[in-house]
Structure 1
Amino acid sequence: MHRHELTDREWELLAPLIPRAVTGRPRADDRKVINGMVHKIRTGAPWRDLPERYGPWRTVYTRFRRYALGGVFTQVLQQIQAQADAAGDIDWLVQIDSTIVRAHQHAATGRKRGCVSWTNRPNHALGRSRGGLTTKLHLACDGRGRPLALLITPGQRHDGVCAQALLERIHVRRLGVGRPRCRPDHVIADKAYSSRGFRAYLRKRGIGHTIPEKIDQQRHRRNRGRRGGRPPTFDRDTYRRRNTVERCFNRLKHFRGIATRFDKTAASYEAAVSLASFLLWARSV
């Protein structure tokens, strides 16, 4: 086994979840192809520069693109979450946050047929911000720092706007009978999520939350007097656990293909993040 390749344990978890064609030509070895994908994401190397031990680079890229469009790695991530939930291994004290990912110049060169300018180019979660072309990765992780849901948006998108959509992506299936679990026990977030609308959404779903209040919101509430209502509850000891999501981002960005976006399409980048997230889960169960 070379560096940046699947261990026997990781392949044992992943192998039953990989779709296989019943008919057609004999396919390349699945483990070798998946190892090529992991090597590419871990090192950030171009597809053409994959080592020869993984076979033709076009085979690895074509398989990765097919899996990305089919949502295979998203399903793989949900399956290992379901296995962990069945074993009672998920801490439902959920933390949410986002991180900016710089988009490499190669990520911005894709052009759809018929597009002649930047303005009518399809949106692949690339946005203009102070640092240039960027993508924002929104993440919800469990209390042990493992990704539960992710959302890819342009870099200038505000965290609070995407908070509700991010939480609604939590979908942990049951291995037996029963509906998937979609509701955390508690949510921890920073001041970017301190809006009345998001707090009302959490209360409506019966989700406890620990979110600090912004200074201007405190001032506005005091100025309104009795009409301003009571301040939201805030537990400092619980909020100290918010660094778990930061550590999760740190582990994800060990994959250089995640820390810098080289993929032209949002589907490919999301598939890469989902594969890296699966590896974080596989190394913890």
Structure 2
Amino acid sequence: MLSRGDLTDGEWAVLEPLLPRSDNRCGRWRDHRQVINGIIHRLSTGCQWRKLPKHFGPWQTIHKRHARWSADGTWERLLQHVQAVADAAGDIDWNINVDSTSIRAHQHAAGAPTDPPPAPPHASKGALQKSVHLRAHMLRRLFLEEAEPAGEVLGRSRGGLTTKNHLAADGRCRPLSLVLTPRQRADCTQFEAVMDKIRVPRLGAGRPRRLPDSVGADKAYSNSLIRNYLRRRGIRHVIPEKSDSRTARWHRGSDGGRPPGFDKTRYKARNTVERAINKIKQFRAVATRYDKRRHVYLGTVIAAALLIWLRS
């Protein structure tokens, strides 16, 4: 029995060679295609894991595999491979645009347990064994958090708990990189992180492509740090100047320097990132955050971006 939105044979042919294989020591895994179809159903509907239809298999299996692939980077590797195939075919428009969107978090997304302190030296043998497991758990969390802000990226706003999704999109409205932060983080503070996340591997020999042809952004990214960052990398950019910056430069006279260049025609293409945000928010599990853990929700967003690339 097939559900609406399941993987087609062509999409499965792209993903199947890249998926991890099961070994005989841990038993045979449930069919990856069936599990991914269950994850797609949850992405589209935003339903609870335990409410998944029975024909996808046990909901515990689907949830655990999604959480595992979110933690070990499997979703990210799949996305990078699909991007690499598109880049090899010349299908990526490298005139990219950067923006962010706020994601309302459901009340069930709050309350993730924090790491308890390690056991004291005089603890019993069972407590010491528990302490070893806790230390391993803490190291695993440090590995997951080394490139991301601390915590579960839940910020307070007037609407309640909120997560902000910063992303860069290519000229065909597809996400190239994603960064999650709490709602109160300003857009301009995450610009370099979003740019550094762009990494499209080559199918053959060669380094991954990291530099776009040009970058477009709105006034939220208009500051000297971002402009200097783009100039050092030799990236053309179209970012409108803020009125207060224009006034300050005018008052300084010749010491204020020349105004930054601005291409009105290129700036009109900035709507591609807005359309990419609209595409990714069509997935209800992305438009509203239900996942407690940051890395699981990031895996949910990357899985949605992967489907956008597969079906574009």
Per the TM superposition, whether the score is higher than 0.5 is yes
| 1:35 has 2:20 as partner | no
Q: Give the partner amino acid of 1:212.
A: P
| 1:179 has 2:179 as partner | no
Partner of 1:85: 87
Q: How does 1:1-285 map to 2 (within 5 A)?
A: 1-23=2-24, 24-114=26-116, 123-284=151-312
Task: Report the 3-state secondary structure (helix = DSSP H, G, I; strand = E; otherwise coil) of the residue aligned with 1:26.
Answer: coil
Q: Give the partner amino acid of 2:252.
A: R
Q: State how far apart, in whole Å, the 2-side matches of 1:25 and 1:131 are.
A: 46
C-alpha contact (below 8 Å) 2:50/2:59 kept by paired residues: yes
Q: Shift of the alpha carbon at 1:187?
A: 0.1
How big is each residue's C-alpha offset from its partner over 1:77-134, in whole Å with a ceiling of 9 and x where there is no partner?
001111111111111001000000000000002122539xxxxxx6111111222110
**Unmatched tracts of structure 2, length 5 or more:** 118-149
Q: Give the partner amino acid of 1:225.
A: G
Q: State how far apart, in whole Å, the 2-side matches of 1:143 and 1:83 are.
A: 16
Q: State how far apart, in whole Å, the 2-side matches of 1:113 and 1:139 are.
A: 30
Q: State how far apart, in whole Å, the 2-side matches of 1:51 and 1:213 are.
A: 52
C-alpha contact (below 8 Å) 1:10/1:279 kept by paired residues: no
- What count of residue pairs does the alignment treat as equivalent? 278
C-alpha contact (below 8 Å) 2:99/2:217 kept by paired residues: yes
C-alpha contact (below 8 Å) 1:189/1:210 kept by paired residues: yes
Task: Report the 3-state secondary structure (helix = DSSP H, G, I; strand = E; otherwise coil) of the residue aligned with 2:162.
Answer: strand
Aligned-residue CA RMSD in angstroms? 1.1
Q: Give the partner amino acid of 2:56.
A: Y
Identity %: 52
Q: Give the partner amino acid of 2:278.
A: N
How big is each residue's C-alpha offset from its partner over 1:46-81, in whole Å with a ceiling of 9 and x where there is no partner?
111111011111011111111111010001000111
How big is each residue's C-alpha offset from its partner over 1:151-176, in whole Å with a ceiling of 9 and x where there is no partner?
01111110000001100100011111
Q: State how far apart, in whole Å, the 1-side matches of 2:278 and 2:115 are.
A: 37
Q: Give the partner amino acid of 2:85.
A: Q
Runs of 4 or more consecutive aligned structure 1 residues displaced over 4 Å after TM superposition: none
Q: State how far apart, in whole Å, the 2-side matches of 1:149 and 1:238 are.
A: 21
Q: State how far apart, in whole Å, the 2-side matches of 1:241 and 1:164 are.
A: 21
Q: Shift of the alpha carbon at 1:4?
A: 2.8
Partner of 1:119: none
Larger Rg: 2
Q: State how far apart, in whole Å, the 1-side matches of 2:174 and 2:115 are.
A: 39
Q: State how far apart, in whole Å, the 2-side matches of 1:9 and 1:214 are.
A: 47
Q: State how far apart, in whole Å, the 2-side matches of 1:45 and 1:9 are.
A: 27
Q: Give the partner amino acid of 2:16.
A: A
C-alpha contact (below 8 Å) 2:22/2:28 kept by paired residues: no
Task: Report the 3-state secondary structure (helix = DSSP H, G, I; strand = E; otherwise coil) of the residue aligned with 1:39.
Answer: helix
C-alpha contact (below 8 Å) 2:84/2:202 kept by paired residues: yes
Q: Shift of the alpha carbon at 1:29?
A: 1.1
How big is each residue's C-alpha offset from its partner over 1:227-259, in whole Å with a ceiling of 9 and x where there is no partner?
111000001111001111111111101100000
What TM-score does the superposition give when structure 1 sets the normalisation length? Answer: 0.95
What TM-score does the superposition give when structure 2 sets the normalisation length? Answer: 0.87
Q: State how far apart, in whole Å, the 2-side matches of 1:180 and 1:59 are.
A: 34
